[in-house]
Amino acid sequence: MNGAELFVAALENEGVTQIFGVPGEENLDVVEALRHSSIKLIVTRHEQAAAFMAATYGRLTGKAGVCLTTLGPGALNLTTGAAYAQLGAMPMVMITGQKGIRSRKQGHFQVVDIVSAMAPLTKMAHQIVSPATIPSMVREAFRLAQFERPGAVHIELPEDIAAEIAPDLKPVPLHPLEPPIAAPAALDRAAALILAAQRPLVMLGAAASRPHLAEALSAFVRRLQIPFFNTQMGKGAVAGGSGLYMGTAALSERDYIHSAIDRADLIICIGHDTIEKPPFLMGPNGPKVLHVGYNAATVEEVYFPHAELIGAVGPTLAQLADRLEGKLPNAGALLPLRAPILARLQDRAEESRYPLTPQRIVHDVRTVIPEDGVVCLDNGMYKIWFARNYRTSVANTLLLDNALATMGAGLPSAMMAALLYPSRRVLAVCGDGGFMMNSQELETAVRLKLNLVVLILQDNAYGMIRWKQAVDQFPDFGMTFGNPDFVDYARSYGVEGSRVESAEGLAPALEAAFARGGVNLVVVPVDYSENTRVLVEELRAFNASGSLQAS
């Protein structure tokens, strides 16, 4: 057994079933070991897409996804994916090749210090220098990637170490890792804080969307009957039907949901990660904040909790609910604001304007996607509209990135969701700018025989930056571009494509695409004039009046 075979055996020991990547000559021993293993190698058309797919696997399963590239340029193409996983707390292990470290017959050709490049982007970056260290190194990589706070880990396997005969070693056995529950004294203090609150509110952050937490969070909300809102990445963390959902903080301040946030005297922040754009801005006169998380809060200028509960979130919340259930007469004090907040978000959702408004697009997508269907957003102006207006009732059914917020991740993320959930409807929503950053992965999706629909929102511009340019009163300059005929482009990959020609045409086009099966693409023009009308003018008028009845 050589080093590569021992390495692949260690991956099998971790339960790895698939690896995404673009191998090179420095990986050939690993590729050959994979050929004889139970692990499927899925070749993508760009290393960045491989990382996005591996990270999304980690996000949806809680187990580390794995991607593989060669040295130098291939490894450097993983850096955006590394930051995507690290900032988004998605467990991922990246494996890169390298020239031999004992002899280099090609000198320094393509040699870059990838370990140093990856160090600030990962929880660990390490080069393997001996086959004897492989079992322990792989075990540590997966342990670090998956344990709170999850993230990216990098392992570099030089080609001479991969080819070297390895000692007779077994993989390191796995063992369960369970964080402790918050201390009883801390639970008592938190309970006293909640008992004293007159207008409590729960916030669910990015770490509330861990796959194993949905039942515990739903039970906590149900038992205490405190209304809740969520951050963009916390959507769906509580099962639907509670009647306690107040909205999503897609903006940091002065949105409709902030009428409840501003009135609260205590916000219970569960799983908040300050890597997200702030859902609200703390100040000296704001509500008290109780931070509940696996890790201590990161104190920021706009986030400085008054108390903390640190430990395994599910069991900690259960013990907190034991202290409080049935003892909170003011639990629902903010609930009267719920109906008017949600009603304002439905304004113009069925307007028959063409090109379509963002509100109509979100509304029609919601009508064709079942509760367990998965919508994967790329990054653009539409992300704010989906975060505000798209209702979720199942965890991790609206996948968006509010951490690195990189363009180009929407299609690969949806491809991973389609691989994991072949019987569920999966939709990628991409702007024309973000789609073209990884559009080559249509070929990968076709090759994998995925059932997947890609919705392109076309405005021929980098729409979010163009909007902010206008809001800041800069001239309209430098943000527009041309596009291919997306329908013809899709068909060149063997993908069926269609274009929406009327306001009423989107939902039927999506239904037809899902009914056909396979990979389908739908193009819809979007009217982003609503960005200024709603997100600037309407919200400014609302905040000036201080009333949810303001127009």
- Which residues have CB under 8 Å from 48's CB, separation 6+? 77, 78, 80, 81, 408, 412, 438
> Could you give the dihedral angle defined by the CA atoms of residues 487, 488, 491 and 495, in that order, rounded to the nearest 10 degrees?
-20
- DSSP notation for 170-204: PPPPP----PPPPPHHHHHHHHHHHHH-SSEEEEE
> Which is nearest to 5 in space by CA: 149, 173, 152, 138?
138
- The whole-number pLDDT of residue 547 equals 63
The tokens describing 325, both together, are 């259930």
**Gap between the Cα atoms of 439 and 437, Å rounded:** 6
**Gap between the Cα atoms of 483 and 526, Å rounded:** 14
**Gap between the Cα atoms of 28 and 97, Å rounded:** 9
> Which is nearest to 249 in space by CA: 317, 303, 307?
303
- The whole-number pLDDT of residue 550 equals 35
Asked if 498 and 476 touch (Cβ cutoff 8 Å), the reply is: no
**Gap between the Cα atoms of 50 and 92, Å rounded:** 11
DSSP state of 300: B
The tokens describing 253, both together, are 């301040």
Q: Which tens digits make up the pLDDT trace of 171-223?
A: 999 988 888 999 999 999 999 999 999 999 999 999 999 988 989 999 999 99
**Helix, coil or strand: residue 241:** coil
Strand partners, 126: 155
**Exposure class string for 265-279: b at 16+ Cβ within 10 A, else e:** bbbbbbbbbebbebb
DSSP state of 409: -
**Gap between the Cα atoms of 54 and 49, Å rounded:** 9
Asked if 75 and 104 touch (Cβ cutoff 8 Å), the reply is: no
- DSSP notation for 6-64: HHHHHHHHTT--EEEEE--GGGHHHHHHHHTSSPEEEE-SSHHHHHHHHHHHHHHHSSP
Q: What is the number of H-type helices and E-type strands within the chain?
A: 23, 18
Strand partners, 268: 202, 290
All residue ranges of the chain with pLDDT < 50 are 549-551
> Which is nearest to 334 in space by CA: 518, 475, 203?
203
Asked if 375 and 398 touch (Cβ cutoff 8 Å), the reply is: yes
**Gap between the Cα atoms of 422 and 30, Å rounded:** 29
**Gap between the Cα atoms of 441 and 353, Å rounded:** 32
- The whole-number pLDDT of residue 548 equals 61
Sign of torsion over alpha carbons 364, 370, 375, 381: positive
* Separation of CA 437 from chain center: 18
- The whole-number pLDDT of residue 393 equals 86
The DSSP bridge pattern shows strands 266-270 and 519-525 to be: unpaired
- Which residues have CB under 8 Å from 47's CB, separation 6+? 21, 22, 67, 69, 74, 75, 77, 78, 81
Strand partners, 497: 521
- The whole-number pLDDT of residue 551 equals 31
Residue with tokens 């997947």: 452
* Separation of CA 452 from chain center: 18
Residue with tokens 């673009």: 22
- The whole-number pLDDT of residue 135 equals 98
> Which is nearest to 162 in space by CA: 33, 17, 22?
33
Asked if 223 and 325 touch (Cβ cutoff 8 Å), the reply is: yes
Q: Which tens digits make up the pLDDT trace of 261-309?
A: 999 999 999 999 999 989 999 988 889 999 999 999 999 898 999 999 9
